Structure 1
Amino acid sequence: MRGEGTTARAAGDTSGGGGADATGSIPPPRGGSRAARRAADRSTRRSRRRVLRWGASVLSLLILVTAAGGYLYYRHLNSSIKTDALNLGETKLGGSKPNSFGQTPLNILLIGSDARDDAANQALGGGTDTFDGPALADVQMLLHLSADRSNMSVVSMPRDTMLMMPKCTEPNGKVHPASKGLVQTNESLQRGGPGCTVAAWTELTKIPIDHFMMIDFKGVVSMADAIGGVPVCVEQNIHSRTRDGKGSGLKLPKGESVIQGETALQWLRTRYGFEDGTDIARTHAQHQYMNSMAREFRKNAKLTNPVKMNSLAQAAIDAMVVDTGLNKIDKLYDLSMELKKVSPGRITMTTMPWVYSTRPGLDGRVEPMPGEAEALFRMVREDIALDGKGSGAPEAGASPSPGAPATPSAPAQPTAAPATSPTSAPASSPAKVAVTVRNATGGKDGAEAKVKLRANDVAALLKGKGFAKATADTQTGAEDTTVVRFATDAQAADAASVATALGLPATAVAKSAEVPGIVLFVGKDWRSGSAPTPPPPAPTVAPTSAHALNGDNDKACMPVQEGFTW
């Protein structure tokens, strides 16, 4: 973390004690002009009342999965598990695909909610006027477990990221239309629940998300006590408190301190006082804490008391909402055992590369950094380790199997083989597959005109490959990369066979309620020729703008913001 501070203008506060700014603006440091302070006060008034934004509520998941032991066998916890729909959006990628050795990666979206909808959360601090109000997804971290279980990647998205929200439909039928403009990512939770946050990530990253875990903070204090403390470090004495009372109240001396209980809570929600006082800085502090906590679990066995472990498990379950695929204790246990296979030295914490928005009215908000954000997402999609170490090479003569210990160091993107599943029919012969081709060659930004008659050309190409029912559509689209979308599970295998015939990757096939059948969208990457333009070689290490922090780095130390020392 040392030296990784972001030069900031602003990026919203979610620190407790009243400093959070839902708009993304930040007040000036102590000593700013009176007019500037008044303007900052106006912009932060609403968030000041939100004493606790659950800055790192995902940490209770880390505690749950890293310390998972016998207590997860307590079947009485099953009745306490709260579930919600996995994906409320129209685009569903169908889950992670196995690699050539039959091993499947796992992608889990960790969501930290600032909900104040029960007595336990409300008792943690004021803000009575926000009780039972709409929750915000103030922490969003994608945890990627490699197919060979050799490494783990975590990608945080700043809560002030602006993006297009997809259409989300709640199980009860209520529809939240797709946004017509950019929306702050933490508002996704208000559009039907965690399933819409998953949908927003899916649309932005094209990463198939297998599970989500949404957690609030009511169990974190007791969990931090049960761990016995987590070492953290600051480069100077720090006191997270402004003259007008904002800040988390965190007060630590220079150097390393072992924190637990409410001090740990303060660390996790501190923004005023770290680096440049932005939400990005808080993310870096959360990464330091999570890595340190993982190391603590590895080197000691503090949680050996069955009563204490049961209490800890109950606290985690009470504070968590998961998708329906994790609705049983044994499923959570199995997941925890998979996560425990990765040593801290192969855990890489990153932040999505970002830039400040230059759009009118979005001062202080951020957007994904062109090129580098996509590079990070691509590494996750293609199961490439972010630390640049690759994966272990298979033993000589080893044959692919689900139990193989490793995968190639930089696996190629698998093509969409027409496999079957319990919910999809076998692929039909190409001559029987009806596929509509739409011209989407202008790209999403519309910077280039669509290539005339491109849908006709590609439809003819498909006919030459045996898809006699391929037809060009008069409707068009806007896609940067060529995709195949299908409407029903029964069409999944046929859609995959279309992609395979064209040499498209598995991630180019997705289910969507927005198409009438199997529709091929010819994207900006296929403006000419018989095949889409291949993407450049995938990166082999996370971009420097992602501020990667390795789990074995026990020397990480948070820089302290000017004006917050004592």
Structure 2
Amino acid sequence: MAQSSSVYGEGTKPGAVPGDPVPGNPGNPGSPAGPGDGHRRGGRRPGRGPGPGRGRRVLRWSAASLSVLILATAGAGYLYYEHLNGNIEKGRRSSGDSKATKASPNAAGQTPLNILLIGSDSRASDENVKLGGARKDRGNPPLADVQMLIHLAADRKSAAVVSIPRDTRVDIPKCTDPKTGRTYPPVNTIINASLARGGAGCTLATWENLTGVYVDHWMTIDFAGVVKMADAIGGVEVCVRQNVWDRPLPGVPGGSGLKLKAGHRKVQGEQALQWLRTRHAWGSDPLRARAQHMYMNSMIRTLKAQNVFTDTGRLTDLAEAATKSLHVSEELGTVKKLYDLGMQLKTVPTDRITMTTLPTAEDPQDRNHLVPAGADADRVWDMIRDDVPFDGKGAKKTSEASKTSEAPRTSKDPAAADDAIGVLVQNATRSTTLGPVTGRAGAITRALVEKGFTKAAADTSGALSEERTVVRYPSAELAGDAQRVAKSLGIPASSVRRSTDVSGVTVVVGADWRTGTAYPKQPAPKAGDLPGDADALNGSDTGKCMDVYAPYRW
């Protein structure tokens, strides 16, 4: 039995012998039919193939159509990309006096990434007024009610988040508002006031001066932005142990309006904003930070579980919400850069994310305010500065080789003779909780002179404030000199930093060196060695619930 061809359009009728003339083929000289014969009513003649000429025309038409489709799709994609870029509001990274410098790369050439997330209570729009307060507040300067530093480890295997309660008293440096040009003098007040003294760039500079940590980027979000993002995500699960209603009570005005029954509940839209703003019902500002951490961890788990990159509608909603909701520092000001940042954060497993709150104590000047809790607060900042994992799950560095490989590089430029190095010594021992120690600049200057640095001199312009002792130098040719001075005093090489704020080698005696002329050795922080009052919460922990302060139960 003869086999019939399973391929159509080859120019062979069923039963025909390959190579025979094909009736109706205008390209075949033996064909009785002329051009156009295949267009008679009733359609194509059975068995008729396209022939070489028609095949080429079909291919040309298909290629042209495909090209138009690709160009149209690409054009629409480009226009949408530009639309998203146009949604993004940008601002200057830093608008205040700050001397923090980027961390040195590790042995693999990797550096940590630090992002400051700021929640603004701005009432600059009718939408924000409706969500967050009375119309009389509309023109008031915004306050940074939520402040979190997100630290992504150099190896991108873990992440740490540190919140500072909004009523924590700190030093806010001199800042200049990039929009108005107005300059604000340095002040010692609660940290949420920083946003109104030069924008998010001033809040960033405040964090850098407080922590000694270089902050790469900032991102701010207002009331309306929180609502948009919560809706785009589709809701976030939270938990309360008792029924909660955060409402005004006799003698206690305000309240977020949050009303939930006990148990695990999904919040979105305005209810998500109420959860993040609730304070009275939890009992304190640090406990509000804990509730915010629970929300963030749950949101991260939700996003990881959603297959947004294969769901075009969800991806579009998230892109629109994010670009309309976030105001970012200028170096993050494109969709691509935000996407790249998101992909870096996505690589961290949820069980390697640790949320914490800075350890604080009651402010001796005002019992309604807080101050950083001395050594416990310092340990948190030490772990961030040294890129030590908060969770203790990172690889243990045991060999001397690994320690040496991660040590800061020493300058190849040789130091000048000790008696030829000019050194200025500044007293910066004043801290948020402690006053300055008088005479520190003079004491360290005398110690340097005794060591042979005869050109050392004390700065008598007044006490400054630095949490940690540093040695600064202005240009590469003085790097060796600065390292030589630091070594003579026992100051670690990691505390020697280049800065354009000094004109020569400058020793800044910080609040961590209040006595003696030899810098006190600082114990190296260990992975997981967080103070107990940091209120650590692991990103994979789904069993946490908020306790409700009794007056706000129903």
Please give the TM-score of this superposition, normalised by the length of structure 2.
Answer: 0.75
Instruction: Summarize the Cα distance change of 1:314–1:510 in structure 2 as closer, same or farther, 3 Å threshold.
Output: farther
* Pairing 1:457–2:447 present: yes
Q: Could you report, residue by residue, the CA deviation over 1:311-361 in whole angstroms, capped at 9, with x for unpaired residues?
A: 3222222222222221222222221111111011011110100111121xx
Do the aligned residues in 1 keep the contact of 2:170 with 2:371 (CA within 8 Å)?
yes
Which structure has greater helix proportion?
A: 2
Query: Of 404, 410, 416, which aligns to 1:430?
Result: 416
Instruction: Summarize the Cα distance change of 1:79–1:142 in structure 2 as closer, same or farther, 3 Å threshold.
Output: same
Question: Who is 2:392 aligned against?
Answer: 388
Instruction: Summarize the Cα distance change of 1:441–1:560 in structure 2 as closer, same or farther, 3 Å threshold.
Output: closer
Do the aligned residues in 2 keep the contact of 1:162 with 1:185 (CA within 8 Å)?
yes
Question: Who is 1:367 aligned against?
Answer: 371
Question: Who is 2:46 aligned against?
Answer: none
* Pairing 1:267–2:275 present: yes
Distance 2:411 2:177 in 1: 30
Instruction: Summarize the Cα distance change of 1:82–1:499 in structure 2 as closer, same or farther, 3 Å threshold.
Output: farther
Instruction: Summarize the Cα distance change of 1:495–1:313 in structure 2 as closer, same or farther, 3 Å threshold.
Output: farther
Please give the TM-score of this superposition, normalised by the length of structure 1.
Answer: 0.73
Letter in 1 for 2:230: A
Question: Who is 2:380 aligned against?
Answer: 376
Matches within 5 A, 1:137-176: 137-171=144-178, 173-176=181-184
Do the aligned residues in 2 keep the contact of 1:357 with 1:364 (CA within 8 Å)?
yes
Question: Who is 2:296 aligned against?
Answer: 290
Question: Who is 1:24 aligned against?
Answer: none
Instruction: Summarize the Cα distance change of 1:243–1:510 in structure 2 as closer, same or farther, 3 Å threshold.
Output: same
Question: Who is 2:240 aligned against?
Answer: 234
Question: Who is 1:325 aligned against?
Answer: 331
Q: Could you report, residue by residue, the CA deviation over 1:237-282 in whole angstroms, capped at 9, with x for unpaired residues?
A: 12222346732222222111122222222211122322x2x22221
Letter in 2 for 1:319: S
Q: Aligned with 2:146: secondary structure?
A: strand
* Pairing 1:112–2:105 present: no
Distance 2:94 2:546 in 1: 36
Do the aligned residues in 2 keep the contact of 1:441 with 1:527 (CA within 8 Å)?
no
* Pairing 1:93–2:105 present: no
Distance 1:518 1:118 in 2: 49
Do the aligned residues in 1 keep the contact of 2:212 with 2:468 (CA within 8 Å)?
no
Distance 1:528 1:166 in 2: 28
Letter in 2 for 1:117: A
Question: Who is 1:534 aligned against?
Answer: 521
Letter in 2 for 1:560: V
* Pairing 1:509–2:497 present: yes
Distance 2:201 2:409 in 1: 25
Question: Who is 1:36 aligned against?
Answer: none
Distance 2:367 2:89 in 1: 38
Structure 1 residue 564: Cα displacement = 1.8
Q: Could you report, residue by residue, the CA deviation over 1:439-469 in whole angstroms, capped at 9, with x for unpaired residues?
A: 6396653346538553143256475xxxxx9
Question: Who is 1:559 aligned against?
Answer: 547
Do the aligned residues in 2 keep the contact of 1:163 with 1:367 (CA within 8 Å)?
yes
Instruction: Summarize the Cα distance change of 1:71–1:163 in structure 2 as closer, same or farther, 3 Å threshold.
Output: farther
Deviates more, 1:265-274 or 1:350-359: 265-274
Instruction: Summarize the Cα distance change of 1:110–1:126 in structure 2 as closer, same or farther, 3 Å threshold.
Output: closer
Q: Aligned with 1:363: secondary structure?
A: strand
Structure 1 runs not aligned, ≥5 long: 1-69, 400-406, 420-426, 464-468
Deviates more, 1:215-224 or 1:166-175: 166-175
Q: Aligned with 1:375: secondary structure?
A: helix
Do the aligned residues in 2 keep the contact of 1:71 with 1:309 (CA within 8 Å)?
no
Structure 1 residue 184: Cα displacement = 1.1
Query: Of 67, 74, 86, which aligns to 1:79?
Result: 86
Instruction: Summarize the Cα distance change of 1:262–1:428 in structure 2 as closer, same or farther, 3 Å threshold.
Output: same
Question: Who is 2:18 aligned against?
Answer: none
Distance 2:516 2:184 in 1: 37
Instruction: Summarize the Cα distance change of 1:299–1:325 in structure 2 as closer, same or farther, 3 Å threshold.
Output: same
Question: Who is 2:17 aligned against?
Answer: none
Instruction: Summarize the Cα distance change of 1:449–1:335 in structure 2 as closer, same or farther, 3 Å threshold.
Output: same
Structure 1 residue 106: Cα displacement = 0.8
Distance 1:516 1:138 in 2: 37
Question: Who is 2:57 aligned against?
Answer: none
Do the aligned residues in 1 keep the contact of 2:232 with 2:317 (CA within 8 Å)?
no
Do the aligned residues in 1 keep the contact of 2:390 with 2:530 (CA within 8 Å)?
yes
Letter in 1 for 2:390: L
Instruction: Summarize the Cα distance change of 1:442–1:553 in structure 2 as closer, same or farther, 3 Å threshold.
Output: closer
Do the aligned residues in 2 keep the contact of 1:441 with 1:449 (CA within 8 Å)?
no
Structure 1 residue 157: Cα displacement = 0.3
Do the aligned residues in 1 keep the contact of 2:123 with 2:132 (CA within 8 Å)?
no
Which structure has more relative contact order (CA 8 Å, sep 6+)? It is 1
Q: Aligned with 2:219: secondary structure?
A: strand
Structure 1 residue 497: Cα displacement = 4.2
Structure 1 residue 538: Cα displacement = 1.9
Instruction: Summarize the Cα distance change of 1:82–1:498 in structure 2 as closer, same or farther, 3 Å threshold.
Output: farther
Do the aligned residues in 1 keep the contact of 2:228 with 2:325 (CA within 8 Å)?
no
Structure 1 residue 201: Cα displacement = 0.9
Structure 1 residue 112: Cα displacement = 0.9
Structure 1 residue 436: Cα displacement = 2.0
Instruction: Summarize the Cα distance change of 1:382–1:86 in structure 2 as closer, same or farther, 3 Å threshold.
Output: same
Letter in 1 for 2:539: G
Matches within 5 A, 1:16-35: none
Deviates more, 1:532-541 or 1:210-219: 532-541
Q: Could you report, residue by residue, the CA deviation over 1:216-242 in whole angstroms, capped at 9, with x for unpaired residues?
A: 132322332332222211111122223
Structure 1 residue 394: Cα displacement = 8.4
Question: Who is 1:62 aligned against?
Answer: none
**Percent identity among equivalent residues?**
39
Distance 1:238 1:343 in 2: 32
Letter in 2 for 1:436: V
Q: Could you report, residue by residue, the CA deviation over 1:289-318 in whole angstroms, capped at 9, with x for unpaired residues?
A: 111111122233256432442232222222
Letter in 2 for 1:484: V
Q: Could you report, residue by residue, the CA deviation over 1:461-516 in whole angstroms, capped at 9, with x for unpaired residues?
A: 475xxxxx953345375566432234x56678567645665552434425363x44
Q: Could you report, residue by residue, the CA deviation over 1:512-536 in whole angstroms, capped at 9, with x for unpaired residues?
A: 63x443322355638656x522112
- Give aligned pairs, total: 465
Letter in 1 for 2:422: V
* Pairing 1:219–2:222 present: no
Distance 2:329 2:506 in 1: 29
Query: Of 457, 464, 471, which aligns to 1:472?
Result: 457
Structure 1 residue 77: Cα displacement = 2.1
Do the aligned residues in 2 keep the contact of 1:143 with 1:152 (CA within 8 Å)?
yes
Query: Of 282, 287, 299, which aligns to 1:281?
Result: 287
Structure 2 runs not aligned, ≥5 long: 1-76
Q: Could you report, residue by residue, the CA deviation over 1:22-49 in whole angstroms, capped at 9, with x for unpaired residues?
A: xxxxxxxxxxxxxxxxxxxxxxxxxxxx
Deviates more, 1:451-460 or 1:309-318: 451-460
Deviates more, 1:322-331 or 1:473-482: 473-482
Q: Aligned with 1:563: secondary structure?
A: helix
Instruction: Summarize the Cα distance change of 1:88–1:298 in structure 2 as closer, same or farther, 3 Å threshold.
Output: same
Letter in 2 for 1:475: T
Structure 1 residue 364: Cα displacement = 1.0
Matches within 5 A, 1:11-50: none
Q: Aligned with 1:231: secondary structure?
A: strand
Letter in 1 for 2:233: I
Question: Who is 2:472 aligned against?
Answer: 485
Distance 1:185 1:443 in 2: 17
Structure 1 vs Structure 2 CA RMSD: 3.4
Query: Of 159, 183, 193, which aligns to 1:187?
Result: 193
Distance 2:138 2:128 in 1: 9
